[in-house]
Amino acid sequence: MKTFEVRIYVPDNKTERWYVYIYNLQTRRICKKFYKGINTTDDRDERMLRCEQFKLAIEAEIRTGWQPDGVQTVKTTVMPFADALEFALSKKAVSEKTRSDYSCTLRFVRKAIKSLRLSQLSIHNCERIHVKTVMDYLEKKHKWKGKNYNKHMSCLSSLFTELVEWDLIKTNPVRDIRARYEEKTEGYIQPTDKQHKKIFARLKEVDYHYYIFCSIEYYLGIRPKEILRRPRSV
C-alpha cells in the first residue's frame, strides 16, 4: 500500500512561498516541506519546473526505501555542535574548491570546540556567544587578520544557514556578528613602458622560449594553462 505522496503547493497569494511536500496518506498529514531553491526566481514557469524536478528527485529517494518521517526525527535528535556543522556540509551542493574551504574552517572549529570544552554543546542550544567564543579563540591562537577571520566566519554562516534549512536550528547565530576590519593592500603595480621593455629584453637574453611564453600571455591575455594546452607545430 502506498504510504507517501509527493505534491507541489502553488499558493494563490503571490507573497506566499511555493514548496514541494511529502504527504502521509495514512495519517493524512504533511510530514515534510521543501523550499530550497524554488523561490529564488519570480518566473512562475521556472518555479514550476524546479518544483517538478524536486518532486521527481524526492519520489526517486522514496522508491529506494528512504523514509521521510525519519527526516523529521533529525530535529529532535541531540546533535552536538561540531557534528551538526559536519552534517550541514554533507548536505551542501558546492564545488570541490568550496567544499575544501568549508572543510578547512571545520577543522579549525572542531579543534577549538574541543579546547574550549564545548564538545557536549547541542546545536539546539548553540547561540551567538558560543560562535563568538570559538572564533575569538581561533583569531588569537592563529593570529588571524580581518580577512582570514571574515572568510572563516562566512563559511560558518553558510553552514548555519543550511542547518536552518533542515530545521535543526531556528535562526542563524552568525547573522548579526559584525565582520572584522580588513586592511587594504595594494595590488600588483604594472611596470612602466620603459621597465617593460627592459624586463622583456632581459628575458629574451636569458631564456628565449620563456620570453615567447611570457609575450603570448602578456599581449594576448591567455592563461598559462591554456598556452601549454595549445598543440605544437612540428
**In this structure, are residues 19 and 38 in contact, taking their beta carbons and an 8 Å threshold?**
yes
Given 21, 37, 64, which residue is the final one in a domain?
64
Q: Which residues contact 232 (CB under 8 A, 6 or more apart)?
A: none
Between CA 195 and CA 203 the distance in angstroms is 12
Angle formed at CA 65 by CA 59 and CA 68, multiple of 5 degrees: 65
Whole-number percent of the chain with pLDDT over 70:
87
Domain presence at residue 70: no
With CA atoms as reference, report the closest residue to 108 among 63, 36, 159, 182. Answer: 159
Domain presence at residue 57: yes
* Lookup: cell for 24: 502521509
Q: Which residues contact 82 (CB under 8 A, 6 or more apart)?
A: 106, 109, 110, 113, 119
Q: DSSP assignment of 189-218, as one string?
A: PPPPHHHHHHHHHHHHHH-HHHHHHHHHHH
Are residues 112 and 162 located together in one domain of the fold?
A: yes
Are residues 51 and 109 located together in one domain of the fold?
A: no
Q: Structural domain of residue 97, as residue ranges?
A: 81-166
Are residues 113 and 55 located together in one domain of the fold?
A: no
Residue appearing with cell numbers 575569538: 136
Domain count, the chain: 3
Local structure of residue 232 (DSSP, 8 states): P
**Tens-place pLDDT, residues 41-50:** 888 999 999 9
Domain presence at residue 188: no
With CA atoms as reference, report the closest residue to 33 among 24, 44, 46. Answer: 24
Whole-number percent of the chain with pLDDT over 90:
30
Domain presence at residue 202: yes
**Tens-place pLDDT, residues 42-71:** 889 999 999 998 898 888 888 877 777 554
Would you state the pLDDT for residue 112? 94
Between CA 229 and CA 226 the distance in angstroms is 5
Would you state the pLDDT for residue 78? 64
